[in-house]
A and B are shown apart, each in its own frame.
Chain A
Amino acid sequence: MKRVLIVDDAAFMRMAIKNILVKHDFEVIDEAENGLVGLNKYKELRPDLVTMDITMPEMTGLEALKEIIAFDPNAKIVMVSAMGQEQMVMEAIRSGAKSFIVKPFKEDHVIQTLSKL
């Protein structure tokens, strides 16, 4: 079972992603409400996968992504983006994000994306 860390400032989104993941044999090991907390939890828990929101206070998803990749170049991070954030997703891919999902997402989109990593 893959261990997932969900990083998102919206509790609703974390719940929505978690609800989907737990139905499909993923284990959500923890959640973080901003990039900085996400980074620290990554270092502490070493999850197999991370879902990373982009727009967050304290430390954005992009900043956190770069820090995590610098710490662990093999980190598997999936960005959670919204329409209109194309440039930032591109930047994320260039910085080492493995893939991305687009809000509003569908259950099978999330699962397809995460199970291929």
Chain B
Amino acid sequence: MSDQYSTEPLLEMYLFETSQLLEQLEQSILSSEKESGYTEDAINEIFRIMHTIKGSSAMMLFDNIAKLAHSIEDLFFYIRKEKPEKMDLSALSDLVLEGVDFIKTEVDKIKGKSPADGNAEDLVTTSKTLLAELKQMNAVPDISLITPAPVAKSTAQTTAEDILETQHYYISQANTPVSNGTFAYKAVVHFEEGCEMENIRAYTIIHNLKETAGDLYYLPADIIDSDESVNIIRKDGFQIFITTDWDYRKMHDFLMQTIFLKDMELTSLENTSVLDQFKKKDTELVEKPIKMPTGKEVNVVEKSSRIPLQEKEALPTNTTQSIISVSVVKLDKLMDLVGEMVIAEAMVIQNPDLKGLQLSNFSKAANQLNKITSEIQDIVMSIRMVPLSATFIKMHRIVRDMCKKLDKDVQLEIIGEETEVDKNIIEHISDPLMHLVRNSVDHGIETTEERLEKGKPKSGTITLEAKNAGSDVLIIVRDDGKGLNKEKILKKAKENNLLFKNEEDMTDKEIYNLILLPGFSTKEKVTEFSGRGVGMDVVTKNIEAVGGTLSVDSVADKGTVITLKIPLTLAIIDGMNIKVGKSRYTIPTISIKESFRPKESEIIHDPDGNEMIMVRGECYAIRRLHDVYRVATNITRLSEGIIIMVEQDEKTVCVFADELLGQQQVVVKALPQYIQNFKKIRGLAGCTLLGDGSISLILDVARMFNH
């Protein structure tokens, strides 16, 4: 990459935009494939995207990407222009998708600061072959010989022999004379090297001179539609013969204004005889009007005339200015600051110095502050929310590729993709989701023959659904495949010592959920797509890392349903603060069912000495926090403390603590690494700062008592 463009933000923008365009391109191809044909819009879009990627990559000096994009652009330029009737759609889709994959890989390399050194030659060749085939398939013999597609021929490809062979000089007269011309000049103009498109630069001069010229001839004359003219101009310069009313000074100054002018020679001609010789040849004006298809222009006018003038001007400007892109780093920082602000607010309002004081004005102001901070917090949260659609849509490609390779027929249905979750969470669930979809196609859905035998519809269906459920989002991956095999799971679990209770005592659901345990995989054969030595346990781990949970359900021959429950956001939760001895803990309010002071008479002891409590006829285990975390406290009698009934993941436990401190919004902070890694303390989701400055540990009740 040249220094000129190596500035970080530009590279970041390149990576961002290219990735975005690739996603768009992939979708465009997939939906075209589904509709078994490319619409005009799709072709235009693919062409434009490739054009953009080519341009940006060339600027960043990623030549392999630029070259590949260029060749695909050429292909679609042809399709766009010629609208060929016969096309090998599948080959075309394959090429573009492979191209997308190639560029994606390169982009990833660049992101990882490694050189983008992939070789796209094969793909470029495929693209060129495809273009040639396309031309051949759709050639109307006579016409195609006369008008080769303009893209195929660029200045760079014109060989030296070409130039020699076709190096004839044309002279032509420009527009109808405006003045008779009192002076005659000859000018030779040389352009700077590397300025590109010299013929059009020459044309620009002629175009601007036309107004003042009497007679105007130039050499080479076929500057408009000849590639050789570029080489002639580079070698010999661009010659102009003109009669005009302009004096030498004016003419000289005009030509000196030419952009990328290297040098220029202007000679006054004694008489116009030089020009006469051109006249004799009677060459006509070469300038052919190149018209845009008029239909397009009419369309635009029609469209605009329908909208009232004021609206027309206001509308597009508004829509574009209402959206800006912001770097995620800044949003993270903002989120952090809001978190700090929530803590600071609590520190002020719940300051121990204020205890017992009657401060009505202060309370009013504090309420106002509280209102504003929670509004800010809501807004900041909503800024970070991203719809799941992008993640979901990615799965189309995975299903398509796998179906092709495994020779299965699977439809992917997407429901509720507009559901939003925090940006950070999306990043964490993309991989697990991909894994689940792969599993469904590979292990779940049967082959077409098997399906027909079972009397099922020929093509399998995988449904990807997202919906809100309180402060969580449910993502459901459902397939109508063969379902999980209970016996196999049990057998495997036994082999690996994964059974935690008696086989007979286990519910179906418990058996199915065994597949989520580490070291479990029933597929004997490892395929390309799933079972790469990692199983569902990795999925579980990823989902748990963002505070989510996973559950499996299945019916033989009907299919499997995997449900992911993930929190909307990681950052701020409503929590109930409790006290045990000198320590503080926070329990997410959402999981608290009730809290009460137990009577001694309600307590039951089982033969192992475990404490239980009867509540409305149901029996619940009691866990004393001071025992679990070995905290010294004076309150050890159950009737003196408080019981908090917590429900999480369909398990209910009663937690015993000294007292409730109150409810507040808490900012979830990650536990320090050394606690996470070395101490392995169970059941902690993070920590937070309370209003009085003390640290409180946030409890993950379900995990605390899993064993």
Contact = CB atoms under 8 A, between A and B. Distances in A.
B259 A116 contact: yes
Interface in A76-117: 81-84, 86-87, 89-91, 93-94, 99-100, 102-107, 109, 112-113, 116
Interface stretch (B4-12, B94-102, B432-440, B624-632): B4-12
Contacts of A105: 59
Contacts of B313: 40, 43-44
B320 interface: yes
Nearest to B314: A40
B207 A103 contact: no
Main secondary structure of the interface of B (DSSP, over half): helix
Interface string B27-65: 000000000000000001101100110111011010000
Given A15-B9, A91-B290, A86 B199 contact: yes
A106 B51 CA distance: 19
B4 A107 contact: yes
B56 A10 contact: yes
Given A37-B317, A100-B200, A102-B197, A55 B48 contact: yes
Interface residues of A, number: 46
Interface in B268-318: 290, 292, 296-297, 300, 312-313, 316-317
A16 to B, nearest CB: 6
Contact of B13 (A12, A43, A84, A109): A12
B675 interface: no
Interface in B200-242: 200, 203-204, 207, 224-225
Interface residues of B, number: 54
Interface in A54-72: 55-57, 59, 62-63, 66
Contacts of A59: 300
B502 interface: no
A83 B196 contact: yes
A103 B58 contact: yes
B205 to A, nearest CB: 10
Interface stretch (B148-156, B329-337, B356-364, B463-471): B148-156
A100 B13 contact: no
B14 A12 contact: yes
Nearest to B152: A84
Contacts of B297: 63, 66
A39 B155 CA distance: 32
Interface of A: 9-13, 15-16, 19, 32-33, 36-37, 40-41, 43-44, 55-57, 59, 62-63, 66, 81-84, 86-87, 89-91, 93-94, 99-100, 102-107, 109, 112-113, 116
* Shortest Cβ-Cβ A-B pairs, 3 listed: A104-B58, A102-B196, A12-B56
Given A12-B18, A83-B196, 4 more contacts: A10-B17, A55-B48, A103-B58, A109-B195
